[in-house]
Structure 1
Amino acid sequence: MASSDLDLARILHCSWVATVEWYDTIESTNDRAKQLAIRRAGPLPALIVAGRQTAGRGRGTRRWWTGRGALAMSLLVDFSRWGLSRRRSPLVALASAVAMVEAVRPHLSGQMVGLHWPNDVYVDQRKLAGVLVEVPTADRLVIGIGINTNNTLAEAPRALRQTAVTLLDLTGRRHDHTSLVLELLAHLDSLLAATGRAPDEIGQRADALCLQRGRTLTIDCGGRSVRGRCMGIARDGALMLQTPEGPQRFLTGTVIT
Structure 2
Amino acid sequence: MASHDVFARSVVDSSNAPRARAQRLARVRVAGTVGRVPFESARAIAPVTALSSVGSTFDVVDAAAPPLSTWATLDQRAGRGRLGREWVAPAGRCLAASIVVRPSASADAWGWLPLAVGLALAEAIDPLVPAATVGVKWPNDVLVDGRKVAGILCERRGDAVIVGVGVNLVLEPHELPTDRATSLRIAGAEGDADALADAVLAGVLRGIQGAADLDDADLHARIAARCATIGEHVRVLLPGDRTLVGTVTGLGPAGELDVDVDGRVERVSAGDVTHVR
Same-fold call, TM > 0.5?
A: yes
Partners of 2:36 and 2:176 in 1: how far apart? 21
- Of 133, 136, 152, the residue aligned with 2:172 is 152
* SS of structure 2 residue aligned to 1:164: coil
Deviation string for 1:75-122 (max 9, x for gaps)? 01334xxx1333333211000000001000111112111111011110
Partner of 2:49: 21
Partner of 1:129: 150
Shift of 1:47: 0.5
C-alpha RMSD of the superposition: 2.3
* SS of structure 1 residue aligned to 2:214: helix
Indicate if the aligned counterparts of 1:207 and 1:234 stay in contact, CA closer than 8 A.
Answer: no
Deviation string for 1:162-195 (max 9, x for gaps)? 111111122163251323322221112102x231
Shift of 1:135: 0.2
Q: CA 1:55 to 1:251, structure 2 compared with 1: closer, same or farther past 3 Å? A: same
1:202 and 2:223 matched: no
* Structure 1 counterpart of 2:213, one-letter code: A
* SS of structure 1 residue aligned to 2:199: helix
- Of 226, 235, 248, the residue aligned with 1:230 is 248
Indicate if the aligned counterparts of 2:154 and 2:164 stay in contact, CA closer than 8 A.
Answer: yes
Partner of 1:60: 83
Shift of 1:6: 5.0
Indicate if the aligned counterparts of 1:122 and 1:129 stay in contact, CA closer than 8 A.
Answer: yes
Identity rate of aligned residues, in percent?
Answer: 26
- Using structure 2 for the length normalisation, give the TM-score: 0.77
Shift of 1:63: 3.3
The runs of at least 4 aligned residues of structure 1 exceeding 6 Å deviation read none
Indicate if the aligned counterparts of 1:210 and 1:233 stay in contact, CA closer than 8 A.
Answer: no
**Aligned ranges for residues 1-257 of structure 1 at < 5 Å?**
1=30, 2=32, 6-8=37-39, 10-12=41-43, 14-15=44-45, 17=46, 19-33=47-61, 36-37=62-63, 40=64, 42-67=65-90, 68-79=92-103, 83-137=104-158, 139-157=159-177, 160=178, 162-171=179-188, 173-175=190-192, 176=195, 177-191=197-211, 193-196=212-215, 198=216, 200-223=217-240, 224-244=242-262, 246-256=264-274
Shift of 1:210: 2.1
Indicate if the aligned counterparts of 1:230 and 1:242 stay in contact, CA closer than 8 A.
Answer: yes
Q: CA 1:128 to 1:143, structure 2 compared with 1: closer, same or farther past 3 Å? A: same
Partner of 2:7: none
Shift of 1:246: 0.5
* SS of structure 2 residue aligned to 1:151: coil
Indicate if the aligned counterparts of 2:237 and 2:271 stay in contact, CA closer than 8 A.
Answer: yes
Partners of 1:9 and 1:184 in 2: how far apart? 14
Partners of 2:40 and 2:235 in 1: how far apart? 45
* Structure 2 counterpart of 1:99, one-letter code: A
Indicate if the aligned counterparts of 2:129 and 2:189 stay in contact, CA closer than 8 A.
Answer: no
Shift of 1:61: 4.1
Partners of 1:47 and 1:103 in 2: how far apart? 17
Indicate if the aligned counterparts of 2:132 and 2:187 stay in contact, CA closer than 8 A.
Answer: no
Deviation string for 1:179-224 (max 9, x for gaps)? 3322221112102x2315x1x3333222211222333212222112
Indicate if the aligned counterparts of 1:95 and 1:188 stay in contact, CA closer than 8 A.
Answer: yes
Q: CA 1:51 to 1:248, structure 2 compared with 1: closer, same or farther past 3 Å? A: same
Partners of 1:8 and 1:170 in 2: how far apart? 22
Of structures 1 and 2, the one with the larger relative CO (CA 8 A, separation 6+) is 2
* SS of structure 2 residue aligned to 1:212: coil
Unaligned runs of 5+ in 1: none
Unaligned runs of 5+ in 2: 1-29
* Structure 2 counterpart of 1:187, one-letter code: G
